[in-house]
């Protein structure tokens, strides 16, 4: 009997070590779609078993959560939070302030600076307040800088001076315990953009504005230069803030070649870049490791296929049939060897 128990324990341990989430000491996340969580058993199973953190891909963004000036709709966001709570996962909030996915009524809004500030403050504090104590961290402001380092023109930048700092303050007032992030993409290869973000962080810290983390989206591809990615990670960690690889995928067909074949060579290149990303994240001081979050779960569900109309794109670790790719297995093995 003791031998059977021992063998079962060893079997359980082996199976656990085959899960990527168990090969790392930080949170492993994915963005999710509530409809797929409800309707797709394979999708829901992976979301339940493979991750320790969940982000709403779209259903906490302005357009969906605040469809009219006098109405908020938290129904789908609440479904995601309920799923995370039932399966013991952290919830990361995405995103409070962005130039995209803004409802039409906000685009049509007219008013002076104070009216605009009241509008944005009400939005932020209503959303954060609704999820207070449930959402661990927020991408408060998303994608405010262009590649040349200049501030992006947007409803918020055009009407509210210093809107990034004000948004962070308003979010902090609504939930003083939430970890607050500035989130952006494409810092690798765009040093002026990276420097603008570092300058922003330094300025906010000097004014004692509550900023706790930097979100590096990490929408990268097999042609991305590792030296540039490494520089971004190093400089971000040097701020002392938490670092989140917040929207990870590794594209294998970035030029949208209609004849592209996802063969062993492409799979191997993708696998090596995933290994690089995870090992680079592990080099960040542990207290600053907020986690790595994939942008959705399987190739079938990736935004790269829809938004960029790239049907022959395979950027994630689960294939169209929700099976683990060889890259998943090899990545997990390589990380297990570090323990």
- Catalytic annotation, residues: 143, 247
- Cα–Cα dist 9/72, whole Å: 49
Cα distances (Å, whole numbers) of residue 86 to 18, 57, 82, 243, 262: 23, 19, 6, 26, 36
Segment holding 107, helix H or strand E: helix 104-107
In 135-178, at which residue ranges do the beta strands (DSSP E only) sit?
Answer: 137-142
- Cα–Cα dist 136/111, whole Å: 33
Chain-centroid distance, C-alpha 170: 21
The 8-class DSSP code of residue 149 comes to S
Judged by phi (left if over 0) then psi (alpha if -120 to 50, else beta), residue 23 lies in alpha
Chain-centroid distance, C-alpha 301: 15
In the chain, at which residue ranges do the beta strands (DSSP E only) sit?
Answer: 28-32, 53-56, 90-97, 137-142, 179-184, 213-216, 219-221, 242-251, 289-294
Inter-residue contact 26 to 53 (CB < 8 Å): no
Inter-residue contact 129 to 169 (CB < 8 Å): no
């Amino acid at each position: 009997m003791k031998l059977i128990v021992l063998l079962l324990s060893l079997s359980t341990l082996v199976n656990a070590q085959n899960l990527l989430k168990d090969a790392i000491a930080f949170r492993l996340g994915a963005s999710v779609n509530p409809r797929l969580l409800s309707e797709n058993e394979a999708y829901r199973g992976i979301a339940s078993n493979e991750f320790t953190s969940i982000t709403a891909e779209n259903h906490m963004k302005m357009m969906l959560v605040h469809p009219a000036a006098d109405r908020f709709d938290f129904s789908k966001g609440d479904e995601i939070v309920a799923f995370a709570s039932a399966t013991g996962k952290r919830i990361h909030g995405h995103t409070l302030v962005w130039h995209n996915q803004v409802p039409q009524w906000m685009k049509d809004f007219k008013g002076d600076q104070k009216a605009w500030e009241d509008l944005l403050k009400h939005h932020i504090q209503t959303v954060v307040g609704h999820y207070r104590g449930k959402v661990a961290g927020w991408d408060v402001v998303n994608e405010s800088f262009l590649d040349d380092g200049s501030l992006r023109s947007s409803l918020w930048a055009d009407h509210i001076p210093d809107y990034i700092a004000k948004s962070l303050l308003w979010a902090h007032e609504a939930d003083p315990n939430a970890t607050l992030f500035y989130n952006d993409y494409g810092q690798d290869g765009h040093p002026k953009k990276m420097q603008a973000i570092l300058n922003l962080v330094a300025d906010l810290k000097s004014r004692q504005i509550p900023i706790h983390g930097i979100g590096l989206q990490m929408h990268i591809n097999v042609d991305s230069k590792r030296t540039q990615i490494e520089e971004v990670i190093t400089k971000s960690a040097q701020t002392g803030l938490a670092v989140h690889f917040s929207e990870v995928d590794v594209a294998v067909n970035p030029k949208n070649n209609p004849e592209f074949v996802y063969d062993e060579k492409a799979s191997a290149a993708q696998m090596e870049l995933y290994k690089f990303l995870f090992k680079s994240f592990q080099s960040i001081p542990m207290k600053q490791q907020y986690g790595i979050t994939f942008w959705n779960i399987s190739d079938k569900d990736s935004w790269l296929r829809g938004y960029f109309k790239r049907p022959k794109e395979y950027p994630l670790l689960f294939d169209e049939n929700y099976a683990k790719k060889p890259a998943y297995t090899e990545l997990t093995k390589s990380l297990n060897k570090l323990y």
